Chain A
Amino acid sequence: MEQKKNDGILKWVLIIIAAFFLFIMVIMPLGMVVAGSFAMGFKYYIASITDKYTLKALSLTLRATIASVICTSVFGLMAAWAVTRYSFPGKKIIKSIIDIPVTISPVICGMIFLLLFGRQGFIYPLLDKVGIDVIFAVPGIIIVTVFVTLPMVFREIVPVLEARGTEEEEAAAMMGASGWTIFTKITFPSIKWPFIYGMILSASRAMGEFGAVSVISGHLRGLTNTLPLHVEILFNEFNTTEAFAVASILVMLSIALLILRLVLQYVSKRKISRMQKATA
């Protein structure tokens, strides 16, 4: 009896500590964005988020995000297929190389492309002749964003494919099915949910990427600004309210993606448990 009572007290003490920590560390920063955005009234807020530069930055952020999602999807499917459906030497090395973009500092991610495409890189003379600007321009922003999100889909679908094994695909291949048929009829249906999950993760990372694009952008206002860079400029110019207003667009987008992700997790978990019930 005594023990039970103590457990009840302990339970609530632990819950309150956890809730307090998350309140200070997570809820207050979110609340700060809301409070900061509306510090000068609703009209000012609307004016800031429909500002010409804000809309331009939003458009670049969306373009870079779409490019990233497409690249990580195509690369993720190809690489996951190669790595899980066949055995070949050097597989482990390839897997760890694929992980590099998410393990190194964003600043270093941006820096390697600055070195490669910049004035001192060996590709520069070629680019100069053709007249393409990569560094301090839109293509550079898109390339680094694609780089930092490259492994996202791969990392989500590989564990599922590895757990599934290759028997079904091998059987289909023996019966003469083409690679495309095997992929669309057997492989893809089983990785559909983690595939979409990976796409959402990459969209959310691409949208908010800051360090890497910061190195590569050169901060040309209106030309090479993504939303996070625009937030930085406004904040450093002491336009705090506008900075928070622009940040609130990012918050809304990222929370929408987060909710989508949680719903997806819930739906796929329920599907799995239903399947397990059906087989049991």
Chain B
Amino acid sequence: MERSTSKKIIPGFGLTFGITVAILGLLVILPLSYIVIYTLKLSPKEFFGVIFTRRVLTSFWISISTAFIAMLINTVMGILIAFVLVRYDFPGKKLMDGLIEIPFALPTAVAGISLTALYRENGALGRFFHHFGIPVAYSRFGIVIALTFVSIPYVIRSVQPVLQNLDPSIEEAASSMGASRFKTFRKVIFPEIEPAVFSGAALAFGRCLGEYGSVVFIAGNMPYKTEIVPLIIMSKLQEFSYSEASAIAFVMLIISFLILMISNIVASHNIKIKGGVS
């Protein structure tokens, strides 16, 4: 510690670095490496045997497709809500801004039971859809609803600061030169907020893929129909098939790291436009 290299003038490196690495090693790296150890216990043939079953592949398809739809909904609504919150003044604006935080603040199990009760056949909103013969709870539609709920804030919160820093006079110039509202948005505003939209959407998608608490109630968990990947991992664990569970979890981890990597690459590609998050 006393080695005063030019870069380590401030005391405390040994202590803080040591404790950080020790905690990470014990609490994160050691447990996480267990997934790898367990997966390696399987031969490649066994590994692919676990992954390439119809039930597991279907659950991956359900997880990815529902997460994607929820992400799309929240991308469109996120841009709209961020725009409304930044550009317009109206009564109840502060309340709307606070409401957006609810999906992050509310425990997922609470969201799960209350969405299930709402969208059941006899629930307040389920009755409406049931009228048209569309079942929501215990179907993939229900999964999309739950995932949409938990990922509402991501796009809004990443677009909001960028939109705030955008000079409204550019838009005024565009519209005074005769551009329509839609054209102004597409040509002037959207290019500026695009990186923020993308990173918010990637975060939302990642969150949706791993979500468990809100989905488990509304999905009904029928194999081949409404079983998402976290649910299949859970049921493998309950059957004590730990190596199968870790193989599926391993694939899941690879997918989420890929999403992170892609969004990082896109973010660094767009580095010239940085959203200043306070």
Chain A positions near chain B (C-beta within 8 angstroms): 3, 6-7, 10-11, 14-15, 17-19, 21-22, 24-30, 32-33, 36, 75, 78-79, 81-83, 85-88, 94, 97-98, 100-101, 103-108, 111-116, 118, 120-121, 143, 146-147, 150, 159, 166, 169-170, 173-174, 178-179, 182-183, 204, 207-211, 214-215, 227-229, 231-232, 235, 240, 243-244, 247, 250-251, 254-255, 257-258, 261-262, 269
Contacts and interface: CB of A to CB of B under 8 A. Distances in A.
Nearest to B31: A112
B213 A115 contact: no
Nearest to A230: B109
A210 B149 contact: no
Contact of B107 (A3, A26, A30, A250): A250
Given A179-B12, A208-B106, A106 B213 contact: yes
B20 A107 contact: no
Interface stretch (B44-52, B83-91, B159-167): B83-91
Interface in B226-275: 229-230, 233-234, 237, 242, 245-246, 249, 252-253, 256, 260
A24 B80 contact: no
B80 A18 contact: yes
Interface residues of B, number: 84
B17 interface: yes
Nearest to A187: B10
Given A147-B27, A173-B10, A235 B217 contact: yes
B8 interface: yes
Contact of B34 (A121, A146, A182, A227): A121
B7 A87 contact: yes
B10 A22 contact: no
A179 B11 contact: yes
Contacts of A229: 109
B35 A115 contact: yes
A254 B106 contact: yes
Contacts of B242: 114-115, 118, 120
A86 B117 contact: no
A81 B16 contact: yes
A147 B30 CA distance: 12
10 contacts: A11-B90, A28-B118, A28-B125, A85-B12, A107-B233, A108-B249, A111-B246, A114-B242, A143-B27, A235-B113
Contacts of A82: 13, 16-17, 20
A59 B17 CA distance: 34
Given A14-B88, A169-B10, A104 B253 contact: yes
Contacts of B111: 29
A103 B155 CA distance: 17
A169 B11 CA distance: 10
B136 interface: no
B173 interface: no
A11 to B, nearest CB: 5
A98 B32 CA distance: 12
Contact of A105 (B16, B209, B246): B209
Given A33-B110, A120-B242, A150-B28, A103 B256 contact: yes
A158 to B, nearest CB: 12
A14 B27 CA distance: 47
A15 B10 CA distance: 52
B81 interface: yes
CB-based closest 8 A-B pairs: A208-B107, A105-B210, A210-B213, A211-B212, A179-B12, A179-B11, A228-B109, A112-B31
Given A94-B21, A105-B209, A251-B110, A18 B96 contact: yes
A18 B81 contact: yes
A252 B172 CA distance: 44
A29 B115 contact: yes
A107 B125 CA distance: 29
Contact of A257 (B7, B99, B105, B152): B105
Nearest to B123: A32
Nearest to A108: B249
A209 B15 CA distance: 31
Interface string B35-66: 10010000000000000000000000000000
A11 B88 contact: yes
B96 to A, nearest CB: 6
A107 B118 contact: no
Contacts of B229: 105
A107 B10 contact: no
Contacts of A255: 105
A146 B27 contact: yes
Contact of B212 (A15, A22, A105, A258): A105
B31 A113 contact: yes
A176 B211 CA distance: 50
Contacts of A120: 242
